[in-house]
Amino acid sequence: MKKVALIGYGAIARIALGKIVEHDRDEQIKVVGVLVRKNREEETRSALKSSIAVVTSIEELIRLSPNVIAECAGQGAIREYAETVLSSGIDLIIISTGALADEELRNKLTSICARNNSRLLMPSGAIAGIDGLRSLKIGGLKSVLYTSTKPPMAWQGTPAAEEFDLVNINERTELFKGPAREAARLYPKNANLAATVALAGLGMDETQILLVADPDVAPNNVGRIDAEGEFGKLTVECRGIPAPDNPKTSATTALSLAHAIQKDTRTIIM
């Protein structure tokens, strides 16, 4: 049986847990605990089954002896907890991949993994085509553009809100274009996929990111990869419904997390 623990219990964690329960008919997975802030402890306890421990420190979570811990709490959680998790020899699934745009942090964590036989695992999130992108990289990848298009108000609380009148945007409007490293830094809650695509392909500085506000895509969040390599081209687009409690995040991010947790419990792994 695979024992899983979560950092955070927001929209992504709730959807992922629900789908794990729905599809784990052979009971191959046991969720042993959830880490939350102290002010969320009582609320989270009341929402979960009594068999799932609710803790407020990473040390308590590790003492539950999970095989893997999944981060569902934002880039700050990576900086706060990843070193401790990986140093304990436990694999860490990362949703907030934008934290790895910090090269110093990424190098530190990969070194810890090498010393402790642990791994950083990155689900595809709200995009498809990561496997194809990595294949093109092996053959010689020349260019990658990732475009994230969302309804205007999904960009509320980002630098775009200071530069654009989001309420009155009524046509497709480009908010940002530049390297993945800068997109992940400026838009940490919107552009984690920028880092995922970059790490799968040409890296943080050579991968181009385009962030777009477009009322016509509502209610979807749309992610598109356009890549070209020596052995061909890749174009893939995903239209995902936002998570119920967070319009900045597609619900498919939670589905990819559930898949990442489940896939190595199956006989045929894809």
**pLDDT tens digits, 26-37:** 889 999 999 999
Q: How many other C-beta atoms lie within 10 A of the C-beta of residue 100?
A: 25
Contact 235, 124 (CB under 8 A): no
Are 107 and 33 part of one and the same domain? yes
Residues 6+ apart with CB under 8 A from 69: 4, 5, 6, 7, 61, 62, 85, 90, 91, 92, 93
C-alpha dihedral sign at 264, 265, 269, 270: negative
Are 53 and 164 part of one and the same domain? no
Are 174 and 225 part of one and the same domain? yes
Contact 50, 29 (CB under 8 A): no
> What is the reported pLDDT for 117?
97
> If pLDDT is split at 50, 70 and 90, which confidence band does 89 have?
very high
Letter for the amino acid at 245?
D
Does residue 170 carry a pLDDT above 90? yes
Stretch 201-227: mean pLDDT: 95
Are 32 and 93 part of one and the same domain? yes
Q: State how many domains the chain has.
A: 2
Q: What is the pLDDT of residues 157-167, one digit of tens each?
A: 999 999 999 99
Contact 36, 56 (CB under 8 A): yes
Asked, for residue 136, whether it belongs to a domain, the answer is yes
Mean pLDDT of the chain: 92
Does residue 25 carry a pLDDT above 90? no
Do you find a cis peptide bond into 215, omega within 30 degrees of 0?
A: no
> What is the reported pLDDT for 225?
97
Q: What is the pLDDT of residues 183-207, one digit of tens each?
A: 988 887 777 889 999 999 999 999 9
Q: What is the pLDDT of residues 125-168, one digit of tens each?
A: 888 899 999 999 999 999 999 999 999 998 999 999 999 999 99
> What is the reported pLDDT for 77?
95
> What is the reported pLDDT for 153?
93
Taking the C-alpha atoms of residue 241 and residue 11, their distance in angstroms, rounded to an integer, is 13
C-alpha dihedral sign at 64, 111, 118, 97: positive
Stretch 215-239: mean pLDDT: 94
Could you tell me the CATH number of the domain that includes residue 208? 3.30.360.10
> What is the reported pLDDT for 63?
98
> What is the reported pLDDT for 247?
66
Q: Residue 41 belongs to what H/E stretch?
A: helix 41-47
Could you tell me the CATH number of the domain that includes residue 107? 3.40.50.720
Does residue 246 carry a pLDDT above 80? no
Q: Both tokens of residue 205?
A: 């500085």
Does residue 64 carry a pLDDT above 90? yes
Contact 129, 236 (CB under 8 A): yes
Does residue 248 carry a pLDDT above 70? no
Domain end, chosen from 121, 151, 178, is at 121
Range of weakest confidence among 9-13, 90-94, 187-191 = 187-191
> What is the reported pLDDT for 268?
77
Domain span including residue 52? 2-121
Stretch 249-255: mean pLDDT: 83
pLDDT > 90: what percent of the chain?
Answer: 78
Are 27 and 87 part of one and the same domain? yes
* Start-to-end C-alpha separation, the chain: 19
Contact 21, 75 (CB under 8 A): no
Stretch 17-32: mean pLDDT: 91
* Residues listed for the chain: 270
Are 195 and 85 part of one and the same domain? no
Q: How many other C-beta atoms lie within 10 A of the C-beta of residue 96?
A: 24
Are 141 and 76 part of one and the same domain? no
